[in-house]
Structure 1
Amino acid sequence: MRISDNDLGGVKRTNCQLTNRQLFQIIILLPFLAVPGFSHYAESSLSRMFGGKKDILYSFMAQDNVDWRNIIWRVVCKLIISVSIREDYKKSHLPAVLISDDSDLPKTGMRMEGIGKIFSHVLQRCILGYKLLAMCWSDGRTQFVVDFSLHGEKGKVDGKEQGLTARQRDKRFARKRDKDSRTEKRKAEYFVSKLERLKIMVKEAIRHHIPFEYLLVDSWFVCTDLVDFVYRSHKKFHLLGMAKMGNTKYKSESGDELTAKAILNSLKKSKSVRYSRRHRCHYATADVTLGCRKVRLFLCRRGKNENWKMLLTTDLSIEFMRAYEIYAMRWSVEVFFADAKRVLDLAGCSARDFSSQIAHVSMVVIRYDILASVKRSDDYETIGGLFADMYEGVHELTVVEKIWAIITEVIAVVAVMLTIDEDELTAQIIQDNRRLKAMQLIAQTA
């Protein structure tokens, strides 16, 4: 990847026998050599080979002048190029997409820099931790994390900003840094709107010439501002996301301003609602105007007990079946969150320094991207690609196909049986593989 010592904060630090590049390589390798953490480095084979104690690793992670964002971009651009030249990428029926979502990074230490309470949508209560906003690139077979940012929530109660008392906030770790340091720039993003950060991430992807056709997001990001951003972009791509069935007004072709529920009632009256046997759902399509931009709405419902959901896209030529299939790719970012937390200890950093928190997440992202690239080569590559067309279906199912099979074969049945929301059930299944086995057993007995 041609990452030099200067990219990692300098050639060598005072009183350290290893260069920054060597330390970077050691830290990347630690989990793969069964070293649980920095505190176990002294007893590991790496320590006997390279020398040094755990302090050199901690001090490296706490550096303020390492541009981790640039390092991730350099790594992921190389990996995406290696994927995009493959035959299975060129012949894929799925487009390349960018996917963005946020996740909780729960913490237990009250002394961490900038730490505060955040609202967990999974637990439906406030917890101590950070919010991680991540953006992934996916072609349906492999997903790479291309960028991330850490966020906090200020809260709405005066005197208890971030859900903490003044005494608790004062006891948090803090240190003076150069205002032009990389860590200070990352801290400046801490309370920035996640929508604004998403737009900046997309611009960076365009600047790095990342190939993608759609931006996939959930209902927390879909709004007039994001639609305008997609239309104004010089790169041609489309937004595809879940939209809320709320009070947002859309202008119909007749000129009336209607909410999503009013549009649905109108479609029902005109008998425009159809049923898909393949996906076992009812759906309807409507072309409307949001703000001053044309968008297409897909309203769908799976099962009699489920509420209607709505997809919004700026692609006015796409049909419901295709849109539904592409939007299913969004679950790959949930797979990243689940795998990174369970296997790569994404939320496990307990360092007080914000620099160390950024460095830890960056290391996890780089490890995940490298593993995803290796998995793509091992699982999906055939000898010269000669038998790819003849024996389609023999290769291991891709991530998207696995999720698609779960949605169509298991979740639809279980959601109806248990009269619960399909999206919530899918999220729970991805977060805990043991639940997936239980759901499969239920489906078989049904």
Structure 2
Amino acid sequence: MSKLDVTKKHYSKLKAMSKITNIPSEIRNFFSEKRRSIVMDTFTRLLEGLNLDNRSLGGLKRENCQLTNLQVFQILLLFPFFAIKGFSHYDGSALCRMFGGKKDILYSYLSQDNVDWRNVVYRITNWLLTKVTVRQDHKKSLLPTVLIADDTDLPKTGMHMESIGKIFSHVHQKCILGYKALMLCWSDGRTQFMLDFSLHGEKGKVDGKEQGLTSEQRNGRYERKRDEKCHIAKRKEEYFMSKGVKLLDMVKNAIRNKIPFDYLLVDSWFTCTELVDFVYRRHKKFHLLGMAKMGNTKYMTTNWGELSAKAIITKLKAKKEVKYSRRYHCHYSEIEVVLGKRAVKLFFCKRGKKEAWKVLLTTDLRLRFMRAYEIYAMRWSIEVFFSDSKRLLGLADCSSRNFSAHIAHVSLVMIRYNILASIKRTLDYDTIGGLFGDMYLGVHELTVVEKIWAIIIEVVAVVSELIGADSDELTIQIIENDKRLAALREYAQTA
């Protein structure tokens, strides 16, 4: 089917879009058999199979709105794959021509305060996760299942966003305008799903310049009064909460949602006595494996009393208990110690003569260095998400003033990524980027066809007005007379 092939069935679909109720199936049907992408086909079938209803997405619909909340939700999930960068680009897009609605509908939907986005993400992710955990390649995997926690910068440019302020970026090593996103990820070494997130700000240490802003800048920010019991108000309460404390809440929530995992992986920012105690107190059995700081924290040793990590590795080197791994090209040593009142194991690791010693801490006393090294390497899964979601799915691109919209935007990005991750596992793709490229290519061809068809419809409307004919009847006559279209194609090929 060429890009100028137009059928009567195709035209009738364009005229009946306002009556559509099943958006995923209409997306599938809009492709011809030859041009139907297995990626888009799988994506829309997963989208169709999501166990969600209008009630869980904020109610049935607003008055005078032709789309239900479920339909708006499905359209928003499709945005990146139809090259729609933002709401302002929706009105002229293929999705708008197919399903109608205006950008104001999308704005108002994301600004709702009564959608429990945390629950929505978990419901979808739990369903996708069951599709992975029943696979033989998951059951036979030599790697454990893990939760991974880390934060990332969400840079912004608008000074009028709700609660916006300066945050310290470890990437740029300076303060930037934006939000911090603390995120929780599940991984089995081959597939990662995003489970939860919270948005955070930093109060700062300078009196009169809270969050790094002047009083005039703070007063110029958007403010919104909310019901204290609404879901977004509860998310807003997390804004200045310690990320370490919020992490504990996230892990508890993952346990309540029956997420299977064996280890919690964190970097040195989160590893502390409180987190070790938390892991030991849980009824669910899992272990902590995190990078620790080579700072002043004291560990009780069997032979040397209380020492810092630096002092411990000095003692281990003196006793010649440092070994070399040819497999990982590093020197390492391990020792059991007590942190607070809990027994933990420390793994020291160093690459090269000039590199400083690093230390891993775990509550799994049976773990050996080689295995700990392999498991902790799984932590990079969340870094892959940060990279892919910012580059492909616009994780940091929301520019709304409303805090509710930012929560909804990040939630939608996580859902898109989780669906793509499920397809990646099913279709055996190497990367999310490659999968996104194949999906985008097929949709881009559809978008081109739609733009050409829109031009044809516009031209027919002008001609019908000049000759006093009905535009619908004239269009159908053109469609049914294939000779004219065939002649146009032949001329285009020889020109």
TM-score, normalised to structure 1, is 0.85
2:101 to 39, 42, 52: 52
Q: Is the 8 A contact 2:80 2:392 kept in 1?
A: no
**Residue in 1 aligned with 2:274?**
225
**Residue in 1 aligned with 2:422?**
373
What is the SS of the residue equivalent to 2:232?
helix
Matches within 5 A, 1:342-381: 342-379=391-428
Report the AA paired with residue 327 of structure 1.
Answer: Y
Q: Is the 8 A contact 1:95 1:139 kept in 2?
A: yes
**Residue in 2 aligned with 1:113?**
162
Matches within 5 A, 1:74-153: 74-153=123-202
**Residue in 2 aligned with 1:248?**
297
What is the SS of the residue equivalent to 2:226?
coil
Q: Deviations over 1:396-415 (max 9, x none)?
A: 5999xxxxxxxxxxxxxxxx
Q: Is the 8 A contact 2:421 2:432 kept in 1?
A: no
Q: Is the 8 A contact 1:141 1:398 kept in 2?
A: no
Distance 1:65 1:397 in 2: 35
**Residue in 2 aligned with 1:201?**
250
Q: Deviations over 1:237-282 (max 9, x none)?
A: 0000100000000000126000001100110111100001111100
| Greater percentage in helix | 2
Q: Deviations over 1:106-141 (max 9, x none)?
A: 000000000000000111110000000000000000
Percent identity, aligned pairs only, is 66
Q: Deviations over 1:79-102 (max 9, x none)?
A: 111100000000000000000000
Shift of the alpha carbon at 1:4?
0.7
Higher relative contact order, chain-length normalized (CA < 8 Å, sep 6+): 2
Extract unaligned runs of 5+ from structure 2: 1-49, 434-495
Distance 1:87 1:246 in 2: 43
Distance 1:61 1:327 in 2: 37
**Residue in 1 aligned with 2:309?**
260
Shift of the alpha carbon at 1:44?
1.5
What is the SS of the residue equivalent to 1:43?
coil
Report the AA paired with residue 203 of structure 1.
Answer: K
TM-score, normalised to structure 2, is 0.76
Q: Deviations over 1:52-76 (max 9, x none)?
A: 2111111111111011000000000
**Residue in 2 aligned with 1:181?**
230
Q: Is the 8 A contact 1:117 1:162 kept in 2?
A: yes
Task: Indicate yes or no: 2:279 matched with 1:236.
Answer: no
Distance 1:397 1:311 in 2: 29
Distance 2:122 2:432 in 1: 24
Q: Which structure has the larger Rg over C-alpha atoms?
A: 2
1:305 to 341, 347, 354: 354
Task: Indicate yes or no: 2:287 matched with 1:287.
Answer: no
Matches within 5 A, 1:207-218: 207-218=256-267
What is the SS of the residue equivalent to 1:158?
coil
Where does structure 1 differ by over 3 angstroms across 4 or more consecutive aligned residues? 396-399
Q: Is the 8 A contact 2:424 2:432 kept in 1?
A: no
Distance 1:85 1:249 in 2: 44
Please give the root-mean-square deviation of Cα atoms over the aligned residues, in Å.
1.3
What is the SS of the residue equivalent to 1:352?
coil
What is the SS of the residue equivalent to 1:186?
helix
Distance 1:21 1:15 in 2: 16
**Residue in 2 aligned with 1:23?**
72
Extract unaligned runs of 5+ from structure 1: 381-395, 400-446
Q: Deviations over 1:207-244 (max 9, x none)?
A: 11111000000000000000000000110000001000
**Residue in 2 aligned with 1:422?**
none
Distance 1:2 1:308 in 2: 48
Q: Is the 8 A contact 2:166 2:177 kept in 1?
A: yes
Q: Deviations over 1:281-305 (max 9, x none)?
A: 0000110000000000000101111
